[in-house]
Amino acid sequence: MNYETYQIMLYVLAFLAVIVFIALYFVKAGYGMFRTRSWGWSVPNKVGWVLMEAPSFVVMGIWAWKAGVEAYTPQAIFVGLFMLHYFQRSFVFPLLMKGKSRMPLAIMAMGILFNVINATLLAASFFSCALPGKYEPATFWTNPLPWVGVVIFFIGMAINLHADHVIRNLRKPGDTRHYLPEKGFYRYVTSANYFGELVEWTGFALLTASPAAWVFAWWTAANLVPRADAIYKRYCEEFGKQTVGSRKRIIPYIY
């Protein structure tokens, strides 16, 4: 990918994220608790998640292989952390899912498209479109920001994984009732899993100092913040505002 194409795609993606952010306050993405038959054909949730998330893992792996990334370079750390997340999200998370929920094909297709584009832009920012000397191993780690980014990334991942664990174990086998999650960061927000993911990709952007990574962090917020608002309102309707209490939507004590 040449640098001009890379820049244009970044601007387009950042602008589209603004539209998505606004639109999702009016239209609820039809997966999970908001799935309805109006979204049309669907596939089992596990299949949908694997097919939707795996392209990120595959595309980044192909780029790293073609670039001949070496173990001692900063790019090897970037690729490793990105693929660690998407290995878990593509091949571990779906296998741990419980229940028989389904994912609309339209949601899956949009997810595949975004993940292919996003992984391509990130890989380009690490390899073909990186400024000369930007990721020189001898100087890159002298800046404290990459170290801060790594710590924030793993904090976000830990929050996200624990939040997923809490959600999976809300019900005992055979139980079909709904529950308000209350453990971990769910004591502070109603979408702790989304908070963890937002923290994770903010840390990744700090680590890589990549414009594409910052656009990805912005897309994460544009996608998850409105959905967290919808989930918060659903919990308030179902359990009552008093039960939800002082919890915020996605960012503790703020929103």
How far is Cα 214 from Cα 209, in angstroms, rounded to an integer?
A: 8
pLDDT per position in the chain (255 positions), as tens? 889 999 999 999 999 999 999 999 988 876 766 667 777 888 999 999 999 999 999 999 999 999 988 888 999 999 999 999 999 999 999 999 887 788 999 999 999 999 999 999 999 999 999 888 899 998 999 999 999 999 999 999 999 999 999 999 887 776 777 889 999 999 999 999 999 999 999 999 999 999 999 999 999 999 999 999 999 999 999 999 999 999 999 999 999
Residues 96 and 198 both lie in one domain: no
On whether both 104 and 154 belong to a single domain, the answer is no
126 and 160 housed in the same domain: no
- The answer to whether residue 65 is domain-embedded is yes
- The answer to whether residue 29 sits within a structural domain is no
Provide the domain count of the chain: 2
Instruction: Give the range of the structural domain holding residue 204, as residue numbers without chain letter.
Output: 139-172+180-254
Same domain, yes or no, for 188 and 208?
Answer: yes
Residues 117 and 164 in one domain: no
What is the reported pTM?
Answer: 0.93
Q: Are residues 212 and 112 in the same domain?
A: no
